Homo-oligomer: A and B are copies of this chain.
């Protein structure tokens, strides 16, 4: 049996999982966590996924130091899932995946997330949406303003062909799996 130093085995398994296309359907969030941890460890950016908002109704205290939540409900998020800081600039983004081969349905993005992204743009934050087409194993960086403009034109969906022409394909690598800072560098920092 091969022995792995502290945690290496787990990491290796994660990477295999990432590389296997059959698992990509559920893997976008995992890939982003791996990516953000990689950025954090190397001091490249500080980006975290926000906790899922939950409304707590009842809590019991089985002992003095432990609070056990016994009744609670999921609440719709009023913002995007991810935000943080890169070279002083605020980053704010949402991540979505679709199994469709032909289009990305707007139904998976909430109205208030659109409003939130617009507010971030108005404040000059770097706002975007990461969208993965599972069928093609392709992950795109979409400038939030482009997505918002389409949203107000047609609230139904964005054709896959639009992504090929207007979005930025995020290069896939094992470290990190979704290297979105590469796109941000191109769009916001290379001319500096």
Q: Give A contacts to B, CB under 8 Å.
A: 40, 43, 45-46, 48, 50-54, 56, 66-74, 77-79, 83-92, 116, 119-120, 122-125
Q: A78 to chain B: which residues have CB within 8 Å?
A: 48
Q: Is the CB of A88 within 8 A of B89?
A: yes
**In contact, B90 and A85 (Cβ under 8 angstroms):** yes
A70 touches B71 (CB 8 A): yes
- Chain B residue nearest to A80 in the complex (CB): B48
The answer to whether A123 and B50 touch across the interface, beta carbons within 8 angstroms, is no
Chain B residues whose C-beta falls within 8 Å of the C-beta of A74 in the assembled complex: 67, 69
Contact of A119 among B46, B53, B83, B91 (CB under 8 A): B46
Chain B: CB-nearest residue to A40? B119
Chain B residues with Cβ below 8 Å from A40 are 119
Chain B residue at minimal CB-CB distance from A124:
B88
Known: A56-B54, A88-B90. A79 touches B48 (CB 8 A): yes
Q: How far is the CB of A37 from chain B (nearest CB, A)?
A: 11
Instruction: Say how far A70's CB is from chain B's closest CB, in angstroms.
Output: 6
22 of the cross-chain contacts (CB-CB < 8 Å) are A43-B119, A43-B123, A46-B120, A46-B123, A46-B125, A50-B51, A54-B56, A67-B74, A68-B72, A68-B73, A69-B73, A69-B74, A70-B70, A84-B90, A85-B124, A85-B125, A86-B90, A87-B123, A87-B124, A88-B90, A89-B89, A90-B125
CB distance from A177 to the nearest CB of B (A): 21
Say whether, besides A54-B69, A72-B54, A122 and B43 are in contact (CB < 8 Å).
yes
Cβ contact within 8 Å between A89 and B90:
yes
A36–B53 Cα gap in the complex (Å)? Answer: 18
